[in-house]
Structure 1
Amino acid sequence: MNLWNLNALFPYSYCALRSQVLIRFLNFDANWPDYEYALTVADSHLTDSGIVIDSRYRLIAPLGRGSGSQVYLADDIRLRRQVAVRVLRKSYADDPTFLEEFRSEAKKSITLNHPNLVPIYDWGEQELPYVVTEYLSGGNLRDLAESAGSISSSQALLIGIEVAKGLEYAHKRGVAHLSLKPTNILFDFESKIRIAGFGISKTLANFSSVDTATLEDQRYLSPEQVNDRRVDQRSDVYSLSCLLYESVAGNQSSEPSHNTGDGAPLSDRIESNLELFGSLATPLKQASSEDSNERPNAGEFLQLLIKETSRQSRPEPLPVSTGLGLEKPIPLRDDPILTDLAKTPDNDGRILRFFKKIRRRINRWIWLILMFAVVLVTVGAIYFASQENNDIASRIIPEVTGMTVQEFNEIVGDYWNLQEALDRLDGTLPGTILRTTPEAGQLLVEGGEITYFVSQGPELRPVPKNLIGIKLSDAEALLLGAELTLGQVTDELNEDYPAGVVISVSIREEQIPTGSPVDLVISLGPALRTIPPNLVGIALEDAQTQLTLEGLQYQVIEQYDGSISQGAVISVSPESLTPVSRDAVVELRVSLGPPAEE
């Protein structure tokens, strides 16, 4: 037997039977899979269960009650799972302004997806406004603190970090809680920490005055909420500091959390208990500042808490409870919230029991056969009715992928309203149809709109920008990696790049279709130089000037020569008119005149 904790998911007083237990058993219902779960309520009237909201959520037992709503453990009939359903009072259902904000906040909250937030599965307002969330069986922070008396500062630091993560995620998406309390901090059976109540708690807070809030609720409101000043997301940070303070201080935390004239501000009480809070005191004092402008936001508070982990001892496991502790049973049919939903005639229970007995006695396979037969009859009726009804004309959209626009128009004619759009796809020819919206095979009425996408050719690929200055083999590898090909290669003499290096790219576009060739120009290196003629016999300075103009270097060797005047060139090596590479060294032998006589 598996026992689940039915503690409240929101700020509620418990109102279910102590004898409720969750059990697994075989073949509870002939239509349910083996070992499907069910909830039995011992010592309870049969009329207490079975109320169904929105033809989907069958209420099982109340979990808790708040100022504006009540939470129930329920079965999701469609998905066969247990959920928590929060049902709002009828007074809110009659307020159009409330319903408008309720819809807005519910739409935003259902998009939140974070490990530290209780996920919202569904919401609606068919009979009464309601919100469906995951059912967590590990209780809440208030249960934990009351059972343990208090928790250590290291345990509170762990809780604060996880809650701050969830707040930071929600705040970045423009969603504030504004009603954060210990009963909103929930645990699953693995002690993982979640925040409940996003969206609906804010809406209820906006439509409830501070004066109508319970004393317990006011303990966690920020000063700006109590004094009706401008409220922002940092009010959640203040509320988090209050519940962390209360969890550690235990019985010492009976004073209001804000300065209402009835007690010291929370930051002063933290200052007076530095030894109790340890390194947690510093971030708590900042988060509990009376001035919201001096308060950190959720992300900053998270960093402050993480910074203090190095100075805290390793926390003990959280003493999460998974047993039942529910008191003060209230029959669902007597619940004032559900007066518009519950049907109370005495015959209701008898009829319900009668049909349950019949359903238990019918074999599952018989039900499947009957359902299959009903489906076949329904489909056949729809088909024959559609054949006979000439007022509703529709056709199946044909498969046109690969056709030209002209071919497509010839097939379709003017039966549908056609809209053209352009797209690219590798392996397709320009001008052919890629796909349609709606897709081929779907039924579309006459005059309906079809958007067909015409190919402009393969997808565009960026041309690598670092081709110039690299070797041809490296350039080809880059082009293949970009799903392009090497085009025509041209050789050119170039004074700036050595031979075999890419010096220019023929493509000027930044993107070209997949597989397009890219032409490259490769350097042959600098042009050959010719040693100037008639260097022998001229002055050394003139020979040096001519060699320099040709881009050649020279080496001067002096020697005595009686036949050549001093300072004139005797010989050149290599000889004049010889082709040489640029920067080649030419040897110049220069006369020193006749040798000195001894």
Structure 2
Amino acid sequence: MTTAPVDPMIGRLIDGRYQVRSRIARGGMATVYLATDLRLERRVAIKIMHGHLADDNTFKTRFVQEARSAARLAHPNVVNVFDQGQDADMAYLVMEYLPGITLRELLKDYKKLTPEQTVDIMDAVLAGLAAAHKAGIVHRDLKPENVLLADDGRIKLGDFGLARAASANTATGQALLGTIAYLSPELVTRGVADARSDIYAVGIMMYEMLTGEQPYVGEAPMAIAYQHANDQVPTPSSKNPAVPVELDELVLWATTRDPEERPNDARAMLERLREVEPSIRFSHLPLATQATMVLSDASLPGVATAETSVLGAGAAPLAVTETTSAGSSDGEDAQALTKSAASRKRRGYWIIALVLLLTGLAAGTGWYFGAGPGALAPVPETATLAPDAATGILEEAGFSVEPAERNDPIVPAGQVSGTDPAAGEQAQRGSTVTLFVSIGPSILPVPEVRGTPSDDARAALEDFTVVDPDILQYTEDAPVDTVIDVLDADGATVGAEYPELGELTLVVSAGPVPDVVGMPVAEAEATLTAAGLQFAHLDPVFDNSGAIADGHVVAAEPTTETVRQGDTINLTLSKGQDLVAVPNVVGKKMPEAIAALEAAGFEVGHSFPELFLPAVTVTAQDPVAEAPAVRGSKVNLVGTLTL
């Protein structure tokens, strides 16, 4: 007999705080354990990423993303995330522990659910999903396994491991993520997901809850994917005639192949569900008038039916079958008949009283939940209002108000940042609504990203708002696309801490400034323009070196100390060499010849001592007279000393 290996995580203390007790579940990316938070003395669920995935940045990023996505949601129908961290080589995620079962386990036990049960569960799922969509999060992996049914009746949505920002609307670029049975047509065909893709998955879940089976089955995943992409989901009533038409229409609306024809988000679908919910519930209750009917004695316990029967209206008078028992008499029969009639009369009064009581209770219940204190009413929108004004609006709508504070990266401090339940959700009149007042954004540490590629920097700074586009700065000190600096909203280098979702701008290396020296002017201008730089022209100069031809760039100088896209480069063009004719100084005395050549811009070379120059007559010059020469070049003189 072999024994199962003991999980090495059982009993382990993680990060000096979480004592692992037992294993709850195991998935493809992580294992979930029951643990005790020793610091707060409470039970938690701790999700630990599998060791073989620890070196895979894609999985680690997705794992951390689940924590951040779920942590942004504070809603009664979303599993709370308490903590996330790394212990040695283990990445972990700490969530609230919900003893209970998943919707998948419920469906395994009951096969299919009633319309009322489906409405109850979908109301909670859509409420939690609406909070995610409002926060800009797309779940992307909705399925019964991720709907948790707690023992205390709470219903929560979990597992945001595949969640992405709704505004990204990105394709996966890899194998399709999520469970194939719930993937929307656009995810199958294009790998693109948005809030409407979650709605499609909700519709498939509703179909499965109402019928006990998924709409599409196949031997291979691609066969199921093909049906998602090409077929319309059938109505649940085609499999289960007990499904009301309202739920048929809701499933068809959610699973339309064209995402433009689906609800825009979970809020829109939730509102429609709540509109049809009363008709779904009351359509399964007997009408009050059905409780009132003519009852025969045969329907009441303890009344003999062998000799006596009650006839309906218009029938013959009550007939009493003659008995053959010895000793009976007409007097005894009359007395028995009188007692029987009195008994029937008393029972009739009780039946009428019971019917009236039930009718009154139904009417009272209808009033209480329809128009009275127990009626559902939408929570008013109060975001960005002053707390006093918001309190007045909520109280006027019939709610009690409990003030609270929370960080909000968008709503200014002192203004209302939201409520729980959220605005637009249905809640009972007289119930308590928590009114959250913003205390401003959370102040978070800023990761050091200088020297990293820009994409990596953006991922590291996802708690902030990185502005597009990056500032490109030309430098020879950093490779192209490497972050040089991070600027705050005022354009200064950001400090060690910064407000959550605050705007940051990356300064990224564009490499060295393009070298345009020696280029023809048109080519130089085009090169600078393509690099995103401006240019201006200074006065052209002679290039007596002969290296730069006329009309070519002889110098390119930045106008700023640091050069960024949009800055100006000053261009100086060459006028070629400055050529002049050499004066004829042959036959002149040496001092006169030197003066004439220097006046023309030349240097003079000779081999005579200064003392003898007045007595020297020039006999030859190089270059020769009238020859073109570069201004500033040297003219050598040869002479004869005359004493």
TM-score (norm 2): 0.38
Q: Which has the larger radius of gyration?
A: 2
Greater length-normalized contact order (CA 8 Å, ≥ 6 residues apart):
1
TM-score (norm 1): 0.41
